[in-house]
Amino acid sequence: METLTVLVVDDEPGIRSGIKRILEGHRVSFPFMDEDYQFECREVASGEEALTMLEVVTPEIILLDNKLPGMDGMEVLEIIKQRNLDVVVAMITSYASMEIAAKATNDGARDFIPKPFTPAELKSSIDLITKQYFLKKITSNMKEEGKKIRYQFLSVLSHELKSPLNALEGYLQMMKERELGEDMSAYKTVLDRSLQRVDGMRSLIMDLLDFTKIRMEKKEEKVEQVDLRERAELAIATINPMVIQRNIKVSCFGDEVFYDADPSDLDIMFNNLLSNAVKYNHDGGEVKVQVYKKEQAVVIQVKDTGIGMSEEEVSRLFKEFVRIKNSRTRGIPGSGLGLSIVSKIAQLYGGHIQVSSIPDQGSEFRVILPLT
């Protein structure tokens, strides 16, 4: 069994001892490996102490709090990058803004663990980090890690477009070579599948346009007071054809709530949340949309009676291009960008997204946007 050293940098003793307790009993095993990984934790309460320790010990993993007394997590991360230390860093943070996320990713952070986290969430992050560590160790060509992260989005994107093209090319080839005979009716499935893949590519491109739009545009110029209830009703009307087809009951509750935002951001958010709630529902199911004010925030809540997800599936949900693949989601089209877009828009307004889900019973998504 290989032991990985984890350096926990956090000024809260409770968090440090919690992480230590959770990780020291935790094992990570890959079903294709003979050996498991276990963890040994070291802890420090400040960035300065962390850097002193890093002069003598190089851990495999660092869990780095962003808010620290004195030097903050981002500064520590920068120094780790300058020192070119061979270590996987994950940021622990309560205030994950888009800017912090972008900067930390550029400086080599591999993961974000938002506070507060449950033992299951921490374990799931550590599993992922360990897998990255393992892959890094066994692949010799990953030295230019920073560049790789930057290009990862593009390479994932090209793959997502290449897959349907491969399928289309294969089908066209089958038709060209008359592989199913001369009778056109034999090609019905081939043609139907080709049209579906073209449709999938179109949705991906539309999602990408949303994605680049929210990344590129300056928000201040387009902000106005938006009636959230009205935007929700508009999104419900947009999704109506699919709702009728699947006999799903969609209802909207809540008071009149106004929020300062670019209305198109909210439309993208509602459309994505609602289309997921309908797509991943059972025929004859239900979707409830609710907007309300809670303390100093507005909450957009979309609840469905659909196929739901396991805890592990939920933890992977907001990563770009991640689609939960199982027997229940097979055949449901999607680009894997929708929730990542919703999450990014929420972050843009200083908010965040929460999800709770029970397999076979349904999911509830809540977008919480702070009132400024």
Partner 1 sequence: MRKKTILLADDDPDVIFQVKHHLELWGYEVVAVESRVEAERYLESGCPDLAILDLMMEEEDSGFILSYRIKKCRPDVPVIISTAVAAERGISFDINSPGSRSWIKADHYLEKGFRMEQLRLLIQKYLD
Q: Shortest gap between Cβ of 166 and partner 1 (angstroms)? A: 5
Number of H helices, E strands in the chain: 11, 13
Q: Which is nearer to partner 1, 101 or 190 (CB)?
A: 190
The footprint of partner 1 on residues 189-218 (CB under 8 A) is 189-190, 193, 197
Q: Shortest gap between Cβ of 32 and partner 1 (angstroms)? A: 4
Confirm if 4 and 40 have CB atoms less than 8 A apart. Answer: yes
Contact with partner 1 (CB under 8 A) among 326, 332, 333, 354:
326
Compute CA distances 58 → 13, 54, 80, 145, 278, whole Å: 22, 6, 11, 18, 49
Q: Which helix (H) or strand (E) holds 253?
A: strand 249-254
The footprint of partner 1 on residues 145-174 (CB under 8 A) is 148, 151-152, 155-156, 158-159, 162-163, 166-167, 170-171, 174
Q: Which is nearer to partner 1, 123 or 197 (CB)?
A: 197
Judged by CB under 8 A, how many residues of this single chain contact partner 1?
35
Q: Shortest gap between Cβ of 123 and partner 1 (angstroms)? A: 16
What are the residues facing 354 on neighbouring strands?
Answer: 366
| Interface region with partner 1, contact rule CB under 8 A, candidates 58-66, 144-152, 224-232, 301-309 | 144-152
Look up residue 327 and give its two tokens: 């027997």
Nearest one of 349, 217, 210 to 275, comparing CA atoms: 210
Q: Shortest gap between Cβ of 162 and partner 1 (angstroms)? A: 6
Contact with partner 1 (CB under 8 A) among 14, 116, 241, 331:
331
Contact with partner 1 (CB under 8 A) among 138, 181, 225, 295:
138
The footprint of partner 1 on residues 282-321 (CB under 8 A) is 321
176 binds partner 1 (CB under 8 A): no
Q: Which is nearer to partner 1, 171 or 259 (CB)?
A: 171
What interhelical angle do 98-106 and 338-348 show, nearest 10?
110
Q: Which is nearer to partner 1, 46 or 130 (CB)?
A: 130
Contact with partner 1 (CB under 8 A) among 82, 140, 225, 296:
140
Interatomic CA distance for residues 313 and 325, integer angstroms: 9
Cis peptide upstream of residue 116 (ω within 30 degrees of 0): yes
Please state, as a whole number, how many other Cβ atoms lie within 10 Å of the Cβ of residue 296: 8
Interatomic CA distance for residues 59 and 80, integer angstroms: 12
**Per-residue DSSP letter, 281:** S
Q: Which is nearer to partner 1, 83 or 162 (CB)?
A: 162
135 binds partner 1 (CB under 8 A): yes
At position 134, the amino acid (one-letter code) is: F
What SS3 state is found at 5? Answer: strand
Q: Shortest gap between Cβ of 179 and partner 1 (angstroms)? A: 7
Cβ neighbours for 53, distance < 8 A, ≥ 6 positions apart: 7, 42, 44
**Per-residue DSSP letter, 39:** E
How far from the centroid of its chain's Cα atoms is residue 10's Cα? 25
Contact with partner 1 (CB under 8 A) among 102, 120, 142, 186:
142
Q: Which is nearer to partner 1, 38 or 163 (CB)?
A: 163
Q: Which is nearer to partner 1, 201 or 268 (CB)?
A: 201
Q: Shortest gap between Cβ of 183 and partner 1 (angstroms)? A: 16
Q: Which is nearer to partner 1, 33 or 237 (CB)?
A: 33
- Strand 362-370 and strand 297-304: the pairing is antiparallel
Confirm if 305 and 266 have CB atoms less than 8 A apart. Answer: no
Nearest one of 314, 231, 249, 257 to 288, comparing CA atoms: 249
Q: Shortest gap between Cβ of 170 and partner 1 (angstroms)? A: 4
Q: Shortest gap between Cβ of 140 and partner 1 (angstroms)? A: 7
Q: Which is nearer to partner 1, 33 or 102 (CB)?
A: 33
Confirm if 335 and 207 have CB atoms less than 8 A apart. Answer: yes
Would you tell me which residues interact with partner 1 (CB under 8 A)?
A: 30-33, 135, 138-142, 148, 151-152, 155-156, 158-159, 162-163, 166-167, 170-171, 174, 179, 189-190, 193, 197, 321, 325-327, 330-331
